[in-house]
Amino acid sequence: MSQNKTAFVFPGQGSQKIGMLLAAHAAYPEVRDTFAEAAEVLGYDVWALVQGDDQDALNLTETTQPVLLTSSVALWRAWNAQGGATPDIMAGHSLGEFSALVCAGALSFTDAVDLVRQRGRFMQTAVPVGEGAMAAVIGLDDDTINKLCAETDGVVAAVNFNSPGQVVIAGHSAAVDAAGEALKTAGARKVMPLAVSAPFHTELMKPAGERLAEAIAGVAINTPAVPVVHNVHARTESDPEKIRALLVEQIYSPVQWTRCVQTMLDAGVGAAVECGPGKVLTGLARRIDKSLLCYAIEEPADLAEAVEALGEHQCEGA
């Protein structure tokens, strides 16, 4: 199969940083307008928060989620204004799935930015602070991680399958610690605690899922104009009601990111654009398949380069 198709991928929590999108905000009115639109919905100056000096405030889950969605949508609008090619397929990592659905026309931005603020609040309050934890496991295969988590007392499971050899586990703090020791004994190169305050994508998030189901019930969802690969099962979905259910299920289910990228590769994708701050997904994509051309577009010069390169990429495959 010719690998001439293009994917857009949207980052999740962990990509936020003070000072992000500074040059893009100066260069593109679409970025400025998007942050202003988010501020109207959220009731606070989103841009001032991003450019301030309080990383802890930015890292609060109910703040991080709308800020990252706003950043991704802002860059998507700038991409289109600069004449960027329409991608063939999209996917987002955890929260980024909401960004993908906005950019694919399935959700309105104003609905989504309020929805992910609530999602962040629900996730944060589902488990008391200190009772849950997450850790990245480097250098061990998925089957071994799943087996050792299942053998550990308490709630702990693999929740982010980010790339071959990079998996995140989560659950009750004591269970995550115990599983981490077992995984190191089994040959993991590293087990690194993550600076998060809740065990995302575990069964402990089911109360958050129930609250999200109530919040999303009244939100309009359309068939995406661009197919979006979903985290739960690594397939696309066109039925709005199934998309609604998947967004709820996603909150307490593992993120199958490696499979999502493989689905896009199998569909003929040869180039991927990371639409949001940072280059986390670019790094993961290269670990999954080194042949994939990757572009991160937070900086205006990088966005302009990607617009030109991907215009040629699509022409070559026409």
List the catalytic residues: 94, 201
d(CA 294, CA 306): 9
Residue 90 in 3-state DSSP? strand
Q: State how far the Cα of 230 lies from the Cα of 283, in Å rounded to an integer.
A: 20
121: amino acid identity, one letter: R
Tokens encoding 119: 């999602």
CA–CA separation, 82 and 54 (whole Å): 32
SS3 content of the chain, % helix, strand, coil (to 5): 50, 15, 35
Residues 6+ apart with CB under 8 A from 246: 230, 232, 233, 237
Q: Which amino acid is at 92?
A: G
For the chain, give the number of residues: 318
Burial status of residue 233 (CB atoms within 10 A of its CB: 0-12, 13-18, 19 or more):
middle
DSSP string, 294-315: EEE-SSHHHHHHHHHHHHHHHH
